[in-house]
Amino acid sequence: MTWLQPSALALIEHRAPLAERVNEITTKAAAAAPGRTGELARIRVQQLLCAPWHESLPADLTPAEHAALAVVEQFIIDVHGLDDATFAALSDHYTHAEQMGLLFHLALLDGFTKLDLVAPNPVH
């Protein structure tokens, strides 16, 4: 007998296919963020959410990347604090589609990084 309910056991059986799908979605979302912005966002999210994270951001950030990382930081710290000025700075460098790509990627990074921190068997 196990302490897991049948529904939990069924969910665990779906872990591998779910992980494949999650990886596919996150890869596509990262690709939707322009240039190296998706990778920079991943590094910054890890820095903000995982205290022992040692990977650092490159020193040669462009003004566009600084604007994107400002959105990343505010999104992780307090999403409700994102304001018009932050998005205006982002709009100076990225198209609407690129902004949406970055935000979708960021939402997935935030959610899955937090899930990895609390779940004994993370999804990816």
pLDDT, residue 99, reads 93
CA dist 80 and 48 (Å) reads 17
Tell me, yes or no, whether 17 lies in a domain.
no
SS3 category, 98: helix
3-state secondary structure of 88: helix
Mean pLDDT of the chain: 82
Burial 90-115 (b: 16+ CB within 10 A, else e): beebbeeebbebbbbbbebbbebbee
Classify residue 124: in a domain, yes or no: no
Does 105 fall in a domain? yes
Quote the CA–CA distance of 88 and 22 in Å, as a whole number: 31
Chain centroid offset of residue 108 CA? 4
Confirm whether 83 is domain-assigned. Answer: yes
- The DSSP H or E segment spanning 107 is helix 96-118
Q: How far is CA 87 from the centre of its chain?
A: 18
Q: How do residues 37-51 score in pLDDT, each as one tens digit? A: 988 998 999 889 887
Tally of structural domains, the chain:
1
Residue 65 lies in a domain: yes
Predicted TM-score (pTM) of this structure: 0.72
Residue 102 has what pLDDT? 92
Does residue 33 sit within a domain?
yes
Residue 2 lies in a domain: no
Residues 6 or more apart whose Cβ sits within 8 Å of residue 39 = 30
4 lies in a domain? Answer: no
Percent with pLDDT over 70 in the chain: 81
Quote the domain boundaries for residue 102.
Answer: 22-118
Report pLDDT for 46.
Answer: 87
